[in-house]
Structure 1
Amino acid sequence: MDNQMFCFQCEQALGGKGCVKFGVCGKSPEVAGLQDLLVHLLKGIGFYGQKVLQQGKTIDENTHKFVMDAIFATLTNVNFDPERFVEYIKKAYEIKEQLKKLAGDIESEIPEAAKYIPPDTKEEMLKDAKKVGVMADKNLDEDIRSLRELLIYALKGMGAYAHHAYILGKTDDTVNNFFYKALASVLDDNLTVDDLVKLNLELGQVNFKCMELLDSANTGAYGHPVPTEVLITKKKGPFIIVSGHDLKDLKELLEQTEGKGINIYTHCEMLPAHAYPELKKYPHLIGNYGGAWQDQQKEFDGIPGAILMTTNCIQKPRDSYKDRIFTTSIVGWPDIAHIEEVNGKKDFTPIIEKALELGGWQEDEEEKKILIGFGHNTVLGVADKIIEAVKSGKIRHFFLIGGCDGAKPGRNYYTEFAEKAPKDTVILTLACGKYRFNKKEFGTIGELPRLLDIGQCNDAYSAIKIAIALAEAFECDINELPLSLILSWYEQKAVCILLTLLSLGLKNIRLGPSLPAFISPNVLQVLVDNFNLKPISNAEADLAEILG
């Protein structure tokens, strides 16, 4: 199978099997190869890093930061710039050699990834990349490959969350050190299927700690989210749209645009920013523009404003807005202006000047707003009312309908499920999957809105905290709650969240719109047997089965 590339890490894998000529996400074979090579080097870093830790030595913060950032850069829709990956590869080799020196003499057999020395040129790197991709070892057991890739992809998702916590000053040794353990484990041919299943569930537990860390970082810096109405229509004047997940970038941009007559709109996963007190206090954080990430090419087409992409979800920019979109942090696209951090600060002058030059929208649209901000602090603050509503029969069931959104057919299921959920049920939602239905009217049950927007994907932590607290209040197991999880997945952050849910013992999760291509039939059966994980069918049938 001499393909130009092979990638099946995301939900839109071609034909449900894998992208082989060009990524559906827009990833070129060149970038795919460089990402494979970077992951190969990270496995070597994992090997030596694990040896260092086993010797009771410590690894410095800069190395931790590089590992989480480098693996995050290979996550779907983050970085498409081959030159940036060449630099990552060179830096990864330097770090591997430093860890090798720190580890000293190794008595055990050293795997090839730990011995690997990358060439100096991109062209030679690409030749090497063909030897280390997902399918490079054609004789590898299908289930071992499946579980190794599951671990790597979940690690990419955790890398995203660890990165966001780190830049806000929050770090944790358990989280940092697990990266080395997980990366080293995929090089260990002695590990069985059972061993790798346990490691994946361990990653789920570590990721729960990582999401807790990020929740603490966000709420510590910006306060606990509060219920907030957010404008979803346009206002007259110059503007900048901020997409991705990075609240720190948004805060810096808000500070630098204060008093300049520029409106700031969030986009996609940045929507929850409006609910944080330390961000919502800026009056020019005016509203949210557009829907989920996959609609950006259409929504950004020729707009008279500037766009800042932070940490996630970029698609190939159209020519009509290529001159007004900027990337920063981990995000990259060839020939797109990139804003670097210098001495811990970013200068957003180029994007500010572009927004003023373009002039913005010429008139106001009729106002429309949506309600967000139901994080764990808010929901648990009214837990007594929720418990009373359940006991009195006013609330029959809770549905968590959330996760990633995407362009693949079949996702209308989530809209239909929300619309058909009975009026005596409450819908919790999070991540960009909510854009399927978050602008619809669902009414209230007493004082409680039927649709509770918990936040973005890492706010799955909030949903879990709410579920655990309700289980304690009702003195029951979490699986005995009148709660069903209806999840959509697209990329690797969803993978690590799923492993977190499974590691906490949650069962009967419905997952769609399709099952991951990297999960082998035998591994899927393990998940079905142990957790009753099941694919979605159709909204009406699934509702009938859940509600009996």
Structure 2
Amino acid sequence: MFCNQCEQTAKGTGCTKIGVCGKPGDVAALQDLLTYAVQGLSLVAVAGRKVGLIDNAVDRFSLEAIFSCLTNVDFDPVRFQELIKKTVALRDALKVKVIAAGGSVDFSAPAASFAPAATLDGLITQGQDLDFINKLDENEDLRSLKQITVYGMRGLAAYADHAAILGQEDDSIYTYIHETMAEFTKSGQGLEQLVGLAMKCGEVNLKAMELLDAGNTGTYGHPTPTEVPLGAKAGKAILITGHDLRDLELLLKQTEGKGINIYTHGEMLPCHGYPELKKYPHFHGHFGTAWQNQAKEFPEFPGAILFTTNCIQKPADSYKANVFTTGLVGWPELVHIGSDKDFTPVINRALALPGFSADTDKGSVLVGFGRNTVLGVADKVIEAVKSKAIRHFFLVGGCDGAKPGRNYYTEFVEKVPNDCMILTLACGKFRFFDKKLGDIGGIPRLLDVGQCNDAYSAIQIAVALAGAFECGVNDLPLSMILSWYEQKAVVILLTLFSLGIKDIRLGPSLPAFISPNVLNVLVENFDCKPIAATPEEDLKTILG
């Protein structure tokens, strides 16, 4: 086993026995083998496009397969066995179609003719023998760039899959993924070409996030400022965590009139700002903080728990019977809700559990500051900057995690001067989301832009402000203080680089898959740097 795709990778270099995330070595081998199989499928998909043959089923499945290799997804080996077999079956069926259309399927790359072992043990051995990451390239720097792009594509696949679920697709995304996956079956690429492919990943991801934004806002309306209770309401309860708005909508519909209150957790918090979701009277509030506290919070929740998107941690035996998962998430021993999204097992479990015995008031937080809301008061923001009421903007966001050092972000926000605004998004905000920081001219100093999926909204805010001030984004009084954990953060960083955004501070540690020479390229071209040892150091450097 070798895996170094997340921030918490063992010893800051790579997991070699079992993942810090809990991923077993056999699953790591199967994920590598699945990625390899998708490379073979991609070679055929590229050949098909050359003769005008585009198979949407192949495209959609490719997203699912690549998404399945993200950190903390479904660690069921049997599921990966099924995905690998389906990948090869789709590859072979597509070959027949390509030949019929007049195309060529004569490939030298072994991935195009890879034959999966008949047994699960055999597949695991194939994955182990593959040693996929280490064999991407013999050159450390070229291998680093390929890893950055492969991991970026896993994040891209996640965003594109979310968008496709809401009916938003664009062939340029599938084309890029297949062409790049096919390209990485070869060696000999130069530094410049590989840098280009990594930047292209960020560029394509901007399109994916735009589609996802269109799907979310087109289906559920633009978020509006909304007070979200942090306490509980007496009665039966279901907690939903993850990212998937469609799953939340279906759960709300299926629980109407059943006497069950729905609570969000983690990245589901921003959903309270969407008009078409918050209209449900039993959509009550938010429970807990972010995933670093799940081990403490979830056993205290007296109802059923539903994971959507990537599952964060393996549930303890004390509450495992109360946990359900959808789609790509979860552990083998949990109850998985099928593609029909019938939440009856979740509902029945919630009705069987005691729920909350009494109302509790733990205050509230304000969400709903997507681009429409923020740009709706852009004139006030611009005037406040001109009058020096607002000195600087900080975007403090990204992933959360349990590794020591993330208290930096809480302390940073606490120490930001009162004449500065803070925009935040993604689960990293749960280090400070409930801080009462006051306002500037009636505008809250802490603005929750939304999920990590809403990075597009934050980018549009920055671009619009730059337009209003007739300057570039890099000339704005704006600093980005980002935390990362997994591959969606990797592709968002690539998106920022593709837009030419500079002076990004990244932590709590730098990716293990970035070689020293590649890091130098990022520093020289984008002035990207690690966060300082203390928030005071960074604030002094930024504000002077």
Letter in 2 for 1:370: V
Shift of 1:30: 1.2
Q: Measure the CA separation in 2 of the matches of 1:189 and 1:39.
A: 17
SS at match of 2:299: coil
Q: Is residue 538 of structure 2 the alignment partner of residue 539 of structure 1?
A: no
| Aligned residue number for residue 23 of structure 2 | 27
Shift of 1:187: 1.5
Deviates more, 1:525-534 or 1:311-320: 311-320
Q: Measure the CA separation in 2 of the matches of 1:45 and 1:496.
A: 22
For residue 97 of structure 1, the aligned residue among 92, 95, 113 is: 92
Query: Closer, same or farther in 2 for the Cα pair 1:523/1:407, shift >3 Å?
Result: same
Shift of 1:367: 4.0
Letter in 1 for 2:298: F
Q: Measure the CA separation in 2 of the matches of 1:81 and 1:155.
A: 22
Query: Closer, same or farther in 2 for the Cα pair 1:93/1:312, shift >3 Å?
Result: same
Show the 5 A alignment for 1:193-212. 193-212=191-210
| Aligned residue number for residue 429 of structure 1 | 424
SS at match of 2:188: coil
Shift of 1:393: 0.4
Shift of 1:451: 0.1
Shift of 1:56: 3.8
| 1:144-179 deviation line (CA, Å, top 9, x unaligned) | 111111111111101111111111111111112211
| 1:464-490 deviation line (CA, Å, top 9, x unaligned) | 000000111000111000000000000
Deviates more, 1:467-476 or 1:139-148: 139-148
| 1:101-141 deviation line (CA, Å, top 9, x unaligned) | 33436487521112211112101001101122344539711
Query: Closer, same or farther in 2 for the Cα pair 1:240/1:509, shift >3 Å?
Result: same
For residue 381 of structure 1, the aligned residue among 372, 376, 379 is: 376
TM-score, normalised to structure 2, is 0.97
| Aligned residue number for residue 222 of structure 1 | 220
| Aligned residue number for residue 234 of structure 2 | 236
Shift of 1:73: 1.1
Show the 5 A alignment for 1:254-265. 254-265=252-263
| 1:427-483 deviation line (CA, Å, top 9, x unaligned) | 000000000001111100011000000000021111100000011100011100000
SS at match of 1:300: helix
Gaps of 5+ in 2: none
| Aligned residue number for residue 438 of structure 1 | 433
Q: Is residue 302 of structure 2 the alignment partner of residue 304 of structure 1?
A: yes
Q: Measure the CA separation in 2 of the matches of 1:175 and 1:186.
A: 17
Letter in 1 for 2:459: I
- Compute the RMSD of aligned alpha carbons: 1.3
| Aligned residue number for residue 185 of structure 1 | 183
Q: Measure the CA separation in 2 of the matches of 1:447 and 1:226.
A: 16
Q: Is residue 454 of structure 2 the alignment partner of residue 454 of structure 1?
A: no
Shift of 1:51: 2.0
Q: Is residue 52 of structure 2 the alignment partner of residue 44 of structure 1?
A: no
Q: Measure the CA separation in 2 of the matches of 1:95 and 1:136.
A: 27
Deviates more, 1:359-368 or 1:428-437: 359-368
Shift of 1:415: 0.7
TM-score, normalised to structure 1, is 0.97
Show the 5 A alignment for 1:94-493. 94-104=89-99, 106=104, 109-137=107-135, 140-301=138-299, 303-342=301-340, 346-493=341-488
Q: Measure the CA separation in 1 of the matches of 2:422 and 2:44.
A: 46
Q: Is residue 10 of structure 2 the alignment partner of residue 10 of structure 1?
A: no
| Aligned residue number for residue 78 of structure 2 | 83
Q: Is the 8 A contact 1:49 1:99 kept in 2?
A: yes
Shift of 1:369: 0.4
Query: Closer, same or farther in 2 for the Cα pair 1:381/1:138, shift >3 Å?
Result: closer
Runs (4+) of structure 1 exceeding 3 A deviation are: 102-109
Q: Is the 8 A contact 2:163 2:215 kept in 1?
A: yes
Q: Is the 8 A contact 1:302 1:320 kept in 2?
A: no
Q: Measure the CA separation in 1 of the matches of 2:514 and 2:159.
A: 23
Q: Percent identity?
A: 57
Q: Measure the CA separation in 2 of the matches of 1:139 and 1:90.
A: 26
Query: Closer, same or farther in 2 for the Cα pair 1:363/1:94, shift >3 Å?
Result: same
How many residues are paired up? 540
Letter in 2 for 1:189: S
| Aligned residue number for residue 520 of structure 2 | 525
SS at match of 2:189: coil
| 1:196-216 deviation line (CA, Å, top 9, x unaligned) | 100110111100010000000
Q: Measure the CA separation in 1 of the matches of 2:501 and 2:538.
A: 18
| Aligned residue number for residue 510 of structure 1 | 505
Letter in 1 for 2:244: D
Q: Is the 8 A contact 1:293 1:313 kept in 2?
A: no
Query: Closer, same or farther in 2 for the Cα pair 1:119/1:305, shift >3 Å?
Result: same
For residue 53 of structure 2, the aligned residue among 50, 53, 58 is: 58
SS at match of 1:301: helix
| 1:31-58 deviation line (CA, Å, top 9, x unaligned) | 11111110110111122212222x1423
Q: Measure the CA separation in 2 of the matches of 1:108 and 1:260.
A: 58
Deviates more, 1:475-484 or 1:143-152: 143-152
Deviates more, 1:376-385 or 1:180-189: 180-189
Q: Measure the CA separation in 1 of the matches of 2:330 and 2:272.
A: 26
Q: Is the 8 A contact 1:130 1:136 kept in 2?
A: no
Q: Measure the CA separation in 2 of the matches of 1:485 and 1:115.
A: 45
Q: Measure the CA separation in 1 of the matches of 2:282 and 2:137.
A: 58
Gaps of 5+ in 1: none
Query: Closer, same or farther in 2 for the Cα pair 1:378/1:30, shift >3 Å?
Result: same
Q: Measure the CA separation in 1 of the matches of 2:137 and 2:315.
A: 39
Q: Measure the CA separation in 2 of the matches of 1:22 and 1:255.
A: 40
Q: Is the 8 A contact 1:7 1:134 kept in 2?
A: no
Query: Closer, same or farther in 2 for the Cα pair 1:138/1:453, shift >3 Å?
Result: closer
Q: Measure the CA separation in 1 of the matches of 2:513 and 2:336.
A: 33
Q: Is the 8 A contact 1:402 1:433 kept in 2?
A: yes
| 1:49-97 deviation line (CA, Å, top 9, x unaligned) | 12222x1423222111111011111101111111111110110111121
Deviates more, 1:92-101 or 1:535-544: 92-101
Q: Measure the CA separation in 1 of the matches of 2:98 and 2:149.
A: 24
Deviates more, 1:214-223 or 1:55-64: 55-64
